[in-house]
A and B are shown apart, each in its own frame.
Chain A
Amino acid sequence: MAAIPWKKWAGTDESIKAVRILVRREIRDALRDWRIVTPIVILTLFFPALMSFVADLALDWVARYGAPIIGERIIPFLLMVVGFFPISFSLVIALETFVGEKERNSLEPLLATPLTDAQLYMGKMLAAMVPPLLAAYLGFAVYLAGLYFFKGWTPEWELLVLMIALTTAEGLVMVSAAVVLSSQATSVRAANLLASFVIVPVALLLQGEAIIMFYANYGVLWWILLFLIVVDVILVRMGVHLFNREELLGREIDELNLGSVWRTFKTHFVWERWFFGRDVEKGPFWLKLTGTICGLYLRELPALLRRSWLAFVLVGIGICGAVFVGCDLAARYNLPAEALRLEELTPEVFTALPDWGWLPNFTPLGIFINNVRALVLAWLLAIFSFGTLAVALLMAPLAIVFFFAAQAARLGYDPFLFLATFVLPHGLFELPAAIIATALSVRLGAALMSPPRGATVGENWLRALAEFTKAFLALTLPLLALAAVIEVYITPLIVILTFSRPGW
């Protein structure tokens, strides 16, 4: 699979001209399709005007009941809705962009022109984005003009900039993801089915944004914008990397071949027996078994972990971030002294932990299952978030640990002793297990972005899945089991012995 010669493309007049020609044609073609134009016009002109009217009514209505704040919060929320509805059309246009042309047989003549892959990709992406985005901006203008004339309401600059930036970033997320889907799918139908991978996360994000808007917490929205920009960069990079003529023309059917899936998985799951150079294959059963175990633990897994160094670096950065967040929160939110009296800890405090509601049964099995569940959830989230949410899920408990360590320090305890007693005994096994599983989840998520030369996205993903499974079974599960036993039987003992002694 050839990557796009980006440097050759970027910046030349000829390239810009080619992209412009392509974008102009695409937009002209889209604007001749009444199925696209009609909803865009409705959502650009009529819908914002209606929202403006609704906002006007809502303001009057809530003012009558002495709750003007609700009205104030509705206006920005409706502004977000007015912007989002037109850009949702970018998804429809983008999904259709390559695979639709392929179905209509108009793609091959285009591929036969001197256009580079990058020019094609950029042209198609811009063409899918520009009309809905302009419609969204126009929708903003209509909505705000209505509010200005009816109510004399003008938005804060921060809100306006934020809404424009969020709408643009959301549009780019949808378009870049949809273009990737469109270039990988074999039919418009398949592309539409795959679109749920875009629609569901964006819908969840919008719900989150809506809640935040009702809290009027614009600081969080700036963070969401930053997150969207990161996702944009990832998706555009992914599109640039995956997009090429070979994939577009070489793929005719998307038949699910379970046999082939299994073979690919198995190829990357199995490993060679090895026992210090001895001919294991011709030896007795015990030697083969020893060779299997040695091959796995002394050769296969170390090589796998070395290959995943970049994912470990990312997880490391996430851990540093968790330490910072935990300490920062501790500095801002102080626990009262009576909340953390370590010298009063008794074994019953540990066994009563499940009474807090969200903690597991304080038994080895309870803790083991809880940890496995968390790492499986991280693995699942990694698939839909290019690995980022797996790191976030690891960061959360670590941030809590460092929050308490920092609180302990503030209350006069030694934070290193706190960590050495509360975390280290079982953490020696639990943390490596969690880091390995998270790093391989990150690889699994990132496998979708950049398959190595000669491999398809599916093959690369199956390889990452096989490697994750291998490491999870051979390393993570045994380490977690051991950690759970230590956490239940040894860690509380060490904590109580350490902190219940007078003078600490």
Chain B
Amino acid sequence: MIELLNLTKKFDDFTAVDRVTLSVAAGEIVALLGPNGAGKTTTVRMIGGILRPTEGRAIVAGYDVTRHPREVRRRVGFLTEHPGLYLRMRGREYLEFFGGLMGLTARETERRAIELLDKLDMREAWERRMGTYSKGMRQKMALVRALLHDPPVLLLDEPTSAMDPHSARLVRDAIFTLRDHRRTIMLCTHNLTEAETLADRIAIIRRGRIVALGSIAELKHRLLGPPVMELQLACPVDGVLDLVSNVVKIDGYGDRWLRYTTSDPQVTNPRVLQLLASHQAPVVTLSELPRSLEEVYLRVIEEM
């Protein structure tokens, strides 16, 4: 649904986006992460058919953004970083305006708008002036605007940035539902927890170039090394250290726990457990030590 090939954007001498190559399939969520000014917004603006690439290609929903930007814009729902509402308008007027520009009839707009507002717990916003909305409501209204024409491709820039936890949860649920309906979703965010929750894959962009791309597990493995497993026992570990060290390399241990690194936990872990079971060692838990996306992100940003 989104195919980027050496996508480049230059503003005079400044290269904002530098040969970005990436593809996002239908039903996939890719989060674009990066520091401020890294080129995320310029990239999504090009994907959304707002900015024309200087070099390279971007095919969105089957249309080339350079040759058919209008067709691209018809098929993209763009949630901009700032809600950018017309505050003197009512929610209904605002959505009717954008529905009209997207080619929807008034009846279609109303049906679709109310459905989305209900989903986001915003029904009372329909007749209210948008100047009276809270920050979160404004953000949700902007999301409704982006989803109004039921686009196959969604570009969401900080979708939950101004929302309270309940609203953010509603929006995340809506995004999951959209993924289930095979929408292609690209997410720009600084909220790494949200990216980790929502995204199937992560692209980290720095100085206009994608410096890391892959699933969260892949990135963690690639950048932080193989996963570290922690084994908790109901007895002191002294008795089993020799046993386990025959199978894996032990990184550290305490009174009733030990840690080891394995590049292939699916093979290694059952063997460790089998070994411990055969020697009747009481295993409490065996789990991967949590490593956050933040660690991955910081590693990438510091190293590159």
Contact = CB atoms under 8 A, between A and B. Distances in A.
Interface of A: 2, 14, 17-18, 21-22, 25, 28-29, 32-33, 104-116, 245-246, 249-250
B51 A107 contact: no
A112 B88 contact: no
Contact of A250 (B51, B73, B89): B51
B189 interface: no
Nearest to A459: B12
B48 interface: yes
Nearest to A102: B84
Given A108-B78, A111-B50, A112-B48, 14 more contacts: A21-B101, A22-B101, A25-B97, A33-B88, A105-B84, A106-B86, A108-B80, A110-B101, A112-B49, A113-B98, A113-B102, A114-B103, A246-B52, A250-B51
Nearest to A245: B50
Contact of B100 (A21, A246, A250): A21
Contact of A29 (B88, B102, B142): B88
Interface in B67-120: 70-71, 73-74, 76, 78, 80-86, 88-89, 93, 97-98, 100-103
B103 A105 contact: no
Nearest to B94: A25
A249 B101 CA distance: 20
B212 to A, nearest CB: 27
Contacts of A111: 50
Interface in B230-244: none
A413 to B, nearest CB: 61
A-B interface, 7 closest residue pairs, ranked by CB to CB distance from nearest: A105-B82, A106-B84, A112-B78, A105-B84, A21-B100, A113-B101, A108-B80
Point out which of B76, B83, B86, B88 has the most chain A C-beta atoms below 10 A from its C-beta.
Answer: B86
Contacts of A107: 84
B154 to A, nearest CB: 12
26 contacts: A2-B52, A14-B103, A17-B100, A18-B101, A22-B101, A25-B93, A29-B89, A32-B88, A104-B84, A105-B80, A108-B45, A108-B50, A108-B84, A109-B78, A109-B84, A109-B98, A112-B50, A113-B98, A113-B102, A114-B71, A114-B73, A114-B103, A115-B101, A116-B70, A245-B51, A246-B52
Contacts of A245: 50-52
Contacts of B49: 112
Nearest to B78: A112
The A interface is mostly helix, strand or loop, or mixed, namely: helix
Nearest to A115: B101
Nearest to A25: B97
Nearest to B77: A112
B48 to A, nearest CB: 5
Nearest to A5: B70
A112 B86 CA distance: 15
Contact of A114 (B11, B74, B80, B85): B74
A111 B142 CA distance: 14
B145 interface: yes
Number of contact residues on B: which range applies?
20 to 34
B83 A114 contact: no
Given A245-B50, A245-B51, A112 B82 contact: no
Contacts of A104: 84
Contacts of B88: 29, 32-33
A246 B16 CA distance: 13
Contacts of B70: 114, 116
Nearest to A251: B11
A249 B45 contact: yes
A21 B105 CA distance: 12
A237 to B, nearest CB: 22
B52 to A, nearest CB: 6
A243 to B, nearest CB: 14
Contacts of B86: 25, 29, 106
A452 to B, nearest CB: 15
Contacts of A18: 100-101
A191 to B, nearest CB: 19
A109 B145 contact: yes
Contact of A112 (B76, B85, B93, B97): B76
A108 B157 CA distance: 12
A112 B73 contact: yes
B52 A113 contact: no
A250 B98 CA distance: 23
B50 A249 contact: yes
A111 B101 CA distance: 11
Given A112-B73, A113-B98, A114-B73, A249 B84 contact: no
Contacts of B48: 112
A107 B85 CA distance: 9
Point out which of B48, B70, B101 has the most chain A C-beta atoms below 10 A from its C-beta.
Answer: B101
Contacts of A25: 86, 89, 93, 97
A105 B80 CA distance: 9
A23 to B, nearest CB: 11
Given A25-B86, A106-B86, A114 B50 contact: no
A108 B48 CA distance: 11
A249 B71 CA distance: 20
A284 to B, nearest CB: 37
B97 A21 contact: yes
Contacts of B73: 112-114
A33 B131 CA distance: 13
A21 B102 CA distance: 11
A32 to B, nearest CB: 5
Contacts of B71: 114
Contacts of B80: 105, 108-109, 112
A112 B145 CA distance: 11
A32 B87 CA distance: 11
A468 B84 CA distance: 44
A378 to B, nearest CB: 32
B141 to A, nearest CB: 11
